[in-house]
Structure 1
Amino acid sequence: MTLYEFNILSLEEKQATVWDRGTFLDNYITKDIRINCYAIDKFFVELVYDAGHNTITEVRSFKYGNSLDKYAPKF
């Protein structure tokens, strides 16, 4: 799957793809949010959770860049 193919999916399809094909890498936790990072083929996906409601609020996908910086100390 390419990043483009992933990005055109619906929110529900993106979530299902992460559960089926994603490899969990790490999480980033603050007081208000929790972000889980997954790898799928040659790109990364972040699932952003609302800690108070325990729901996924956003799915972010990327190949590289600043989005990986918050995980760098652990790698």
Structure 2
Amino acid sequence: MTLYEFNSLTLDEKHATVWDKGVFLDNYITKTQRINCYAIDRFFVEVHYSAEHNTITEITAFKYGKDLDKYSNINF
């Protein structure tokens, strides 16, 4: 699956694809955010949760960049 193909899916299809093909890498948790990061083929997927309601609010995909920085122990 390519990043383009993933981004063309509906939210429900993205959800199913992450659970079926995604490899969990890490999570990022603050008072207001809960984000799990997964790898699928050659791109990354973030699953955003509502901390208040414990529901998925957004699923975003990317290949590289600043979105990965929050998972690093290095402070920039």
Shorter-normalised TM range: over 0.9
Q: After the TM superposition, list the runs of 4 or more consecutive aligned residues in structure 1 that deviate by more than 3 angstroms.
A: none
Backbone CA RMSD of aligned residues: 1.0
Q: Which one-letter code corresponds to 1:53 in the other structure? A: H
Q: Gaps spanning 5+ residues in structure 2: where?
A: none
Q: Which one-letter code corresponds to 2:71 in the other structure? A: Y
In structure 2, the partner of 1:50 is 50
Task: Determine what percentage of the aligned residue pairs are the same residue.
Answer: 72
Number of residue pairs matched? Answer: 74
**What is the correspondence of 1:1-75 to structure 2 with a 5 Å cutoff?**
1-73=1-73
TM-score (normalizing by structure 1): 0.96
Is the helix fraction higher in 1 or 2? 1
